[in-house]
Chains A and B, each alone.
Chain A
Amino acid sequence: MKTSKDKKALEGVRVVDFTWALAGPLVTKTLGDFGAEIIKIEREDGEIARRVPPFPDRVDVNRAGGFNNRNRNKYGMKLNMKDPRGVELAKKLVSKSHLVIENYASGVIEKWGLGYDELSKIKPDIIMTSMPGFGHSGPYRRNIGYGQNLHAFSSWFDLTGYPDRPPSGFSFAYSDYIVGGFATAITLAALNHWKETGEGCYIEIPQFETLVGTLGVTYMDYFVNHRAANRRGNTVPPYVRAAAPHGSYPCKGEDRWCVISVFTDEEWKAFRKAIGSPEWTKEDRYSTTLSRLENADELDKRVASWTREYTPDEVMTILQEAGVAAGAVREIRDLVDMDPQMKELKFYVEAEHPELGKRLFENNVFNLYETPGKIKRGAPLLGEHTDFICKEILGMTEDEINQYLIEGVL
C-alpha cells in the first residue's frame, strides 16, 4: 500500500519539454517534482545551459551545476528537429502526452511544424505553453528576450539601485524565475480546466509583459498621479506608507548586514525598548511617525550605531523577540550551512546524478502535506533516456532505433 508520502499530485501527467536555458526548465522542474513525467527534448549538442558554469572540475555537457539543479527528475532525449523524421517522432510523443512546454523565440517551434495549430490536430486536448520574450505580435516580437535584457527593457533595472548613482540592476536572471513561476501557475490552471472539461488550450506568456505586470502599482501611479518612480535603495516612499527606520544596517563582522522594518508607532516603541531606550531615542525629532520620516537620514545613522555592536543574527533575535520585523542579510553560505529555518524546511537536499555523484539541490519552496514534492535523481545526461523513450513510449523496435541513431535522427 502507498503511504501518504508516496502520493504524487501530478501522477499520470506527461509533459513534452522543449525548454532551454532558464525560464522554461523552471516550469518543468516544478511539474516533475510533483510527479509529472517530463521528457526533455534536446538537440545533438545539448541545450545552452549545459555549457554554462559552474562545473566542479572540467567543462562538460554532463557536468554543469546550474543545469543539474533545475533539470532533476527529467528524462533526457536527443532529437534532431532538422530531420523531418525527428519532427514526426516529436508529434507522436505529443499524441501520447498532456502538456507541451517551450520557451524558444516566437516562431521557432512553428517553423519546425510543431506550433499549437499543428499539435492540436494530432491531439485535440493538448495544452501548450509558450513563453516568447515579447509575445507573438507587436514591433518587438522578433527581439531576443533573455532575462538580462528584459530587466533593462521593462524598467526593473532602472528602478533597482541607489538614488544618487547609476542603476545597480541585477547580477542574476531574476526575471526568469518570475516568468517561470507565472507560466507554471497558468499551465496548472489549464491542467485543472482540462480535468474538469476535457478541453486543451494554448497559453502565451509574454515575458516582457509579465515583468511590467509585476510593477502594476508603479504604472497605475504613473497613469493616475503622473508620478514616475525612480530607484531609491531600500526606502519606502512616503506617498506609499510611513516606514522609518526601514533599510539595511551594518553589523559586527566584515560586510555583514541586517534589515529592520518599522511601520507603526507601536513598533517604534517596541524597537526603542528592545535596544535599551538610549538617550537619542527620546529626542523629539524621533517621537512621532512624521518626525521620524522627516529625520530618516539621521535616524538611520543612529540605528546603525546600535546595529554595529551586534551580529546580524543577534539584531534579528533581539528585535523579533520584541515584535519588530527584522532579519539578517543572509549570504548563500549562511543559507546552505547554517540557517536553522532552511534546515527545518529541508530546502537543500541531496540526490544522485549519474556522473556528478551525490550533489546538493534546491528543493521545492512550498510543502504540500499530503503530496510532497520529491527529488529522485539529478538531471539526465545528454540523451540518457533516448532509448527508453523510443521503446517504452513510442513503441519502436531495436532495429528502428539503431537505424535512426546511425542516420542522425536521434
Chain B
Amino acid sequence: MPESANKTHLLSGVRVLEIADEKGQYCGKMLADLGAEVIKIERPGGDPSRRIGPFFKDKASSEDSLRWWYHNSSKKSITLNLDTSDGLVIFKKLIKDTDILLETPDPGKIEGASLGYGALAGINPRLILSCITGFGMTGPYRNYKASNLVGVAMGGMMSVVGDADRPPITPCGEPGFLNVSIFGCVATLIALYYQKATGKGQLVDIPMQPCVASCLEYTFPFYAYLGINLKRMGSHLQMFGPGKNSFCYPCKDEGYIFGMPAAPPLDWMEEEGMVEDLKEDERLWYDWMYRIEKEEHINDVFSKFIRTHTKKEMHDRLTKERSVWSAVRTVEEVANDPHLRERDFFIDVEHPDLGETVRYARPPAIINGARGDVRPCPKIGAHNEDIYMGRMGMKKEELIALVSAGVL
C-alpha cells in the first residue's frame, strides 16, 4: 500500500464485524475507507444483496455486482451461518476482540439483533453494537419493512421532492440508505470515542426515518415557526417560501441552467440588453419579501435570457465568473469533468481476477494532503482461512468439516 494512502487510515487497529444488507453497507465502507478492519459476515453462498445490480458488463452473478463492489470495497469477507449452534460458538469467539458490530437486523428480529446486546456485552463489555434499521428498535413501527423508498417517504423527504402536479418522488442515489449509513458512522464513532475513554461499549440505535427527516432544511422550521406545511415545488427554493416557479431554465440547446434568484449575472444580462429593470431595482436583491412579490417577473427575465445561450456557453462563463448559477450537468459531463481529473478523484483499481482495472470514485476525504485508496471487495468467504485458521487457530480439517456442514 502506498505510504500516502496510509495517512488516510485514521481508524487503523479498529476491528469491525459487519452483518449488513444494502441499508448499512455504506456505513461499513466509510469505516473501511478510514482504515478500520471491516470483516463482513456473509451467509454461506454469499449475502443476498450481492444480487442487486448493476453488474460488471451486465454479467448477472453474485460475484459481479458493481453495487456490491462499490459498497464493500476495502472490506474482508468470511462466511458464517448464525442459525447453527457451531456458527454461534464461532460468532461469540469473534465478538471477543471486536470493537464494533455493525448490524442491519431484519424486522421481527430487532430485539434480539444477533444475540441481543446484553448477551454480547457479557462476552465483550467494550463492544459497540450499532443497529441500522428502518424505524428503530422500539416503537409501533419497529417491525416494519423498509425499502429505500419507504424510508424516504416516511422520513418526509418525498413530500418535498417532485413537481406539484405530479406524484412525489425520491431523489437520486438511495437517500434513505445513504443517510442512515452516514449517520450510522457518526453515531458509531461517537461511541468509539467514549469506548476509548472509558473502556465501555454500548448499544447504538440508528433508524432511517428520522435520519431522512433531519435533512429537509427549512421544511421543519417553516412549520414549527409559521405553521406552513411546505410541499413539493420542483426546484423553487424553500428559503423563498412556498412558490410555483422552478428555478430550472431550458437553454437554447437541450440543456438546463439552475438559476436561483440570488446574485444573478446581471452585468452579463445588461451587456446583451436583456436585464430589463433587474439592475436598477436594487431592492430585489436584498429584500427577500419584495423579491417574492416580483418572482413572476424575475422568472420571466431569467428565462428569456437563458434561452438565448447554449448550456456550454452559459457553463463556461458562469464558471469563469464564479456565479452561484450553474449548468445542470449530466452523468456523462461529470464523469469527464476536468476538475475531477486534475484532482485524481476517479481511480483505476486493479481487479486481479478479472485481469482488468475498474474505475471507482475514491473516498472523498483528503487527510493530511493524501487521497484514500480503494481495495477491491473480496469474493464470498475470501478471508475464511485468514480469520478462522490464521487468527482463531482452526485446523484445516475443521474448516472443511464446517463448510460441508453448512456452517461456513
A residues contacting B by CB (< 8 A) are 7, 9-10, 22, 30, 34, 52-56, 65-66, 68-69, 134-135, 137-140, 142-144, 146, 148-149, 151-162, 165-174, 176-178, 181-182, 184-186, 188-193, 195-196, 201-206, 208-210, 212-225, 227-231, 233-234, 237, 239-241, 246-250, 255, 257-259, 261, 263, 316, 320, 323-336, 339-342, 344-345, 347-348, 359-360, 362-363, 365-371
User: Quick check: A362 and B213 within 8 Å, CB to CB?
Assistant: yes
Count the B residues whose beta carbon is within 8 Å of the partner chain — how many? 149
With a cutoff of 8 Å between Cβ atoms, the chain A residues found around residue B323 in the complex are 144
CA distance A360 to B234 in the complex (A): 27
Give 15 new A-B contacts, CB below 8 A, not counting A152-B329, A203-B367: A66-B221, A142-B322, A151-B258, A154-B329, A166-B256, A167-B256, A181-B182, A223-B359, A228-B331, A241-B52, A325-B146, A340-B139, A341-B139, A345-B209, A362-B214
**CB under 8 Å from chain A, chain B span 43-76:** 51-58, 66-67, 69-71
Q: Is B120 an interface residue (CB 8 A)?
A: no
B-chain residues with CB within 8 Å of residue A365 when the two chains form the complex? 183, 206-207, 210-211, 213-214
Interface contact A344-B136, CB-CB below 8 Å: yes
User: 7 interchain pairs (CB within 8 A)?
Assistant: A171-B234, A182-B182, A192-B11, A325-B150, A330-B153, A341-B135, A344-B136
Question: How far is B363's CA from A210's CA once the two chains are assembled, in angstroms?
Answer: 8
Across the interface, which residues of A come within 8 angstroms of B30, CB to CB? 182, 185
Known: A168-B162, A190-B10. Is A161-B146 also a contact (CB below 8 A)? no
User: B229 to chain A: which residues have CB within 8 Å?
Assistant: 331-333
CB distance from A156 to the nearest CB of B (A): 6
| Given the contacts A10-B190, A259-B150, A66 and B141 also touching, CB distance less than 8 Å | no
In the complex, A327 Cα to B324 Cα: how many Å? 37
Judge whether B362 and A331 touch: CB under 8 Å.
no
Q: B53 near A240 (CB under 8 angstroms)?
A: yes
Is B85 on the interface with A (CB-CB < 8 A)? no
Interface residues of B in 218-263 (CB under 8 A from A): 218-226, 228-239, 241, 246-248, 250, 256, 258, 260
B91 touches A (CB below 8 Å):
no
Cβ-defined partner of A362 (8 Å) among B10, B220, B362: B220
Contacts of B206 in A (CB 8 A): 365-367
Interface locus among B168-176, B297-305, B384-392 = B168-176
Determine whether B147 belongs to the interface, using a CB cutoff of 8 Å to chain A. yes
Indicate whether A205 sits within 8 Å of B220 (C-beta atoms), given known contacts A10-B190, A168-B235, A240-B54.
no
Q: B278 an interface residue at 8 Å Cβ cutoff? A: no
The reply to whether A345 and B153 contact each other, CB–CB distance below 8 Å, is no
In contact, A192 and B10 (Cβ under 8 angstroms): yes
B224 touches A336 (CB 8 A): yes
The reply to whether B364 and A170 form a contact with Cβ atoms under 8 Å apart is: no
Q: 0/1 per residue, B192-209, Cβ < 8 Å to A? A: 111011001011111101
7 A-B pairs with least C-beta separation: A344-B139, A169-B235, A159-B172, A261-B147, A65-B221, A172-B217, A188-B189
B235 x A170 contact (CB < 8 A): yes
Question: Is there an interface contact between A369 and B202, defined as CB atoms closer than 8 Å?
Answer: yes
Interface-side segment among B265-273, B332-340, B400-408 = B332-340
Given A162-B169, A214-B173, A333-B229, answer yes or no on A224-B331 (Cβ-Cβ < 8 Å).
no
